[in-house]
Structure 1
Amino acid sequence: MRQLLLLCFTLMITLAQANFEKGVAFYQDKQYKKAISAFQQDWDSTQNSANLYNLGLSHLMLKQPEKALYYFEKTLKYDPNNTDAIYNASHLFSEMNEGSYWQHPYSWIGRFVFKFSSNTWSYLSLFFALLLGLSIFITLQPHQRSRKKIGQFGIVITFVFLATSTLAAKFSYEHFVATEFAYLPKTDIATFISPGKNPTEVKLELNQRYKVNQQQDDFLQIQLKTGERIWVAQKDVLSY
């Protein structure tokens, strides 16, 4: 049974690698639609952000700048410091919106936190929790006053790092599972005051990133530049 599971796992890895390699081959052969299909299949099975970047390049070659920009920015959700994705998103946005400048979806703090998975931050939290326990143990032992002060200092420092890494783990987890932004592939999108009810006449702009505040069923609440919040159907937008 164990050998069978190992064989299945190895087969899955091989198939995933095959999809990525097929995508690269199709892209180099200028068969961009086939490349998109292969990269999408590999993304679905591996969650490797390189596929998202390659999807952006493929859509760009098909002269689909809206989708290309979407995939370049989606790459940054999983790899926030990807310099190629940052450059292409910035350059493409400037071409599509003359006189406007692209801004990274995440602050420098977010880019640092989201660079690591929630599991990595959780392991760091465990490490600092152990250090905190050790510092408390040292402080409670009978010894010289100077050593006690060192132990107390250790408690403060490790507690700060423990709290920071714990919060980072929480934010990192929420970041990867939540839908944070929405792009509009077209302008004639229905908007609502509440999910699927009370239509509005609000016209949304193309090539703009909208912050998603919450999700309910198949609808997303997005925030406009004016601060107004409206609902759109998730199927009508590109979201990540």
Structure 2
Amino acid sequence: MQTAGISAELLTPSSRHRFVQLYGVASRKSVLPWKEVPRDRAQLIVLDQGMADAISSLGKAPCVVCIGQVRTAMLDSATWVGRLEVDYTLSDLIDMFDRAAVFLLDWDARNKVIRHASEQAAAEPAPSARQEFRYQLKSWVSVGAPFNTGACIRALALLSREPVSIAQLCLHSGLDNMMARGLLVELGRRGVLRGVAQPAIPAASSPSHPREPLHSKGLLSRLGRWIRGGGKPG
């Protein structure tokens, strides 16, 4: 920021007369050169109570300087507010310009950082959804030791119904991770296991449809028919 825009449009004639007398010198001696611009382009608006009573908005200027006792809710929209007494001096005005300039330099730098971060975020491709492998039985198979346990039978039942991840398999069957992986390796060796990559979901997530208890009559009946039919759904 090389210069800053200031608007004195919101000063009553008497306040503006004093401001104009001192502005030329104060604007040159400030740490940041000031230039009068229309109110909608100003970074700093100078205001007195007479005009505060006559308007409804200060616009988007981040800084406001009030001359005299100005009471208005419009000041809440400003980021920085300074105050001058009605009989302010040239030194007071230079000091006010300097404080506003320091704020604006910092404000401008922070906004540049925010804009740069936003542009970088917009330029980066959206992250792809994390994938995980899930497994499902192609057909029922009998397994021997060390996989002929209740937990492994539950795991086989889960694998027969829908694709499941290793985490889901462990959660719902009671197998530990090492035994679950060993079972999958054995099923893969026998050629009865298929894998598919799907969007990852939390390990504790429920299946896509309500699961019947493994001891329920309906599930055991269907598993019995499947086993007797060589793995073909009943």
TM-score using structure 1 length: 0.22
The structure with the largest alpha-carbon Rg is: 2
Return the structure number with greater helix share: 1
